Amino acid sequence: MKQLLNTLYVMTQGAYLTLDHETVKVEVEGKIQMQVPLHHLGAIFTFGNVMISPFLMHKCMEDGRAVVLFNMNGRFMARVTGKTHGNVLLRQAQYEAVRDANKTARIARNVVAGKLQNSRHILLRGARETEDKDIEGKLRDAAQIHVDALFHLEKTDDIEEIRGFEGETANAYFDVLDSMVKENSADFKMNGRNRRPPLDPMNAILSFLYTLLLNDCISAAEGVGLDSQMGFLHVLRPGRPSLGLDLMEELRSVLADRLALTLINLRQITKDDFEERPGGAVYLSEKGRKTVVVAYQKRKQDEIHHPLLEEKVPFGLVPHIQARFLARHLRGDMEEYMPMLYS
């Protein structure tokens, strides 16, 4: 089993990261604020004005350790990795599958099925936990939309229909997501899903968590030798990590959305952790981003039961496990790609 390594998140403006033998040092104004063994790190994420020494950067590239750069608002800017690793024959099989309409539809259908099952789980959990009958009814109605879509999904091999079912259920899901907010609910009302930029606190925290999760999924795909830009569900576009987005779909609700709701309902995140910018854009403040990152890292350490492996695994390893399942399917070792169903 792959070891779950930590991610180093550096948000302090003016910080400078250096490598001393095999130890990463974080300096601020010439004073060492943190030291961590390099071999404990799977990636380094920096936000805003954070500098990295060339020697540390070279070592990360040599080891295949990603360095991911965000701006001060938490928006993804760049991802720096070393040489491409993995079996070229696997990537050849991936490219052939992408060109095959039937194979593309089969993989995309299973990805969407996993997403719908997991989103339905979150909706039904919310319905059980609320004492408001109107909210319970709305959540159960949205869950039923997912059930209906699953019924029709298994009967189609048309990629556009599959994408249509995913889009329709996503709209139904986001229409009721904020009804699961129990604390300060007025501060976290959503008018559907919006991004680039997010226009309300709920969308802001979701966008930030999705960015963190997406980069984990990109790392998982590339870690097994897949091309993270050659996906099946998401349309291919220059520079778009379509496969990373595919792998993220089945984990959005159970990892990112559930964590956002927990942070809000426990009042660990409040409206004071957000900043509104000119034009109406809303972003997490530096304090808010730190709170979310710490919670995300802890959540990745939590163990869940993986139904296919029939054993408990850290949540943070699930993207890597699913990427391996996809690689095995593309090589012909598994008849179907099997999504992770949360329970």
Q: Are residues 282 and 200 in the same domain?
A: yes
DSSP state of 253: I
In a domain, 119, yes or no: no
In a domain, 288, yes or no: yes
Question: d(Cα 164, Cα 186) in Å, to the nearest integer?
Answer: 31
Residue 249: name the closest of 166, 306, 161 by CA.
166
Q: Does residue 282 sit in helix, strand or coil?
A: strand
Q: Are residues 190 and 320 in the same domain?
A: yes
3-state helix, strand, coil in the chain (%, to 5): 55, 15, 30
The reported pLDDT for the residue numbered 120 is 96
In a domain, 261, yes or no: yes
Q: Are residues 191 and 53 in the same domain?
A: no
Question: pLDDT, tens digit, for every residue of 151-189?
Answer: 999 889 999 999 999 999 999 999 999 999 987 778 888
The residue whose two tokens read 């399917």 is 329
The reported pLDDT for the residue numbered 225 is 85
β pairing state of 41-47 and 66-70: parallel
In a domain, 114, yes or no: no
289 within 8 A of 279, measured Cβ to Cβ: no
The reported pLDDT for the residue numbered 1 is 45
Q: Are residues 19 and 99 in the same domain?
A: no
Q: Are residues 17 and 38 in the same domain?
A: yes
Question: Most confidently modeled of 8-12, 197-201, 230-234, 317-321?
Answer: 230-234
C-alpha gyration radius of the chain? 20
Q: Is the pTM of this model over 0.75?
A: yes
Q: Are residues 51 and 100 in the same domain?
A: no
Q: Stretch 243-271: mean pLDDT, rounded? A: 94
Q: Name residue 311's beta-bridge partners.
A: 306
Q: Are residues 234 and 92 in the same domain?
A: yes
Question: pLDDT, tens digit, for every residue of 6-35?
Answer: 778 887 888 999 998 899 999 988 888 888
Domain count for the chain, please give it.
Answer: 2
Question: d(Cα 67, Cα 58) in Å, to the nearest integer?
Answer: 11
In a domain, 227, yes or no: yes
Question: pLDDT, tens digit, for every residue of 62-116?
Answer: 888 878 887 876 677 777 877 766 678 899 999 999 999 999 999 999 999 999 9
In a domain, 213, yes or no: yes
β pairing state of 16-20 and 23-28: antiparallel
- Give the residue numbers spanning the domain of 293: 88-108+183-331
Q: Are residues 97 and 220 in the same domain?
A: yes
3-state secondary structure string, 20-79?
Answer: ECCEEEEEECCEEEEEEEHHHEEEEEEECCCEECHHHHHHHHHHCCEEEEECCCCCEEEE
The reported pLDDT for the residue numbered 72 is 74
Residue 321: name the closest of 229, 230, 224, 250 by CA.
224
Average pLDDT over the chain reads 89
Quick one: which H or E segment has residue 19?
A: strand 16-20
Q: Stretch 259-272: mean pLDDT, rounded? A: 94
The reported pLDDT for the residue numbered 84 is 67
Q: Stretch 233-239: mean pLDDT, rounded? A: 90
Q: Of 62, 80, 98, at which residue does a domain stop?
A: 80
DSSP 174-225: HHHGGGG--SSGGGG--SS---SS--SHHHHHHHHHHHHHHHHHHHHHHHTT
Q: Are residues 210 and 252 in the same domain?
A: yes
In a domain, 151, yes or no: no
Q: Are residues 55 and 92 in the same domain?
A: no
Question: d(Cα 101, Cα 48) in Å, to the nearest integer?
Answer: 42
Question: d(Cα 340, Cα 316) in Å, to the nearest integer?
Answer: 13
The reported pLDDT for the residue numbered 4 is 59
The reported pLDDT for the residue numbered 3 is 55
Question: d(Cα 241, Cα 325) in Å, to the nearest integer?
Answer: 18
222 within 8 A of 228, measured Cβ to Cβ: yes
Q: Are residues 212 and 267 in the same domain?
A: yes
Question: d(Cα 59, Cα 173) in Å, to the nearest integer?
Answer: 43
Q: Does the pLDDT at position 320 exceed 90?
A: no
Q: Stretch 248-266: mean pLDDT, rounded? A: 94
Under the banding of pLDDT at 50, 70 and 90, the label for residue 196 is confident
Instruction: Give every CB contact of residue 105 below 8 A, 6+ residues apart in sequence.
Output: 156, 157, 158, 159, 162
- Token pair of 321 as six digits: 């496990």
Question: d(Cα 97, Cα 103) in Å, to the nearest integer?
Answer: 6
What's the CATH number where 18 sits?
Answer: 3.100.10.20
Quick one: which H or E segment has residue 105?
A: helix 101-129
169 within 8 A of 116, measured Cβ to Cβ: yes
Question: d(Cα 34, Cα 233) in Å, to the nearest integer?
Answer: 41
In a domain, 38, yes or no: yes
Q: Are residues 214 and 302 in the same domain?
A: yes
What's the CATH number where 320 sits?
Answer: 1.20.120.920
Q: Of 33, 64, 80, at which residue does a domain stop?
A: 80
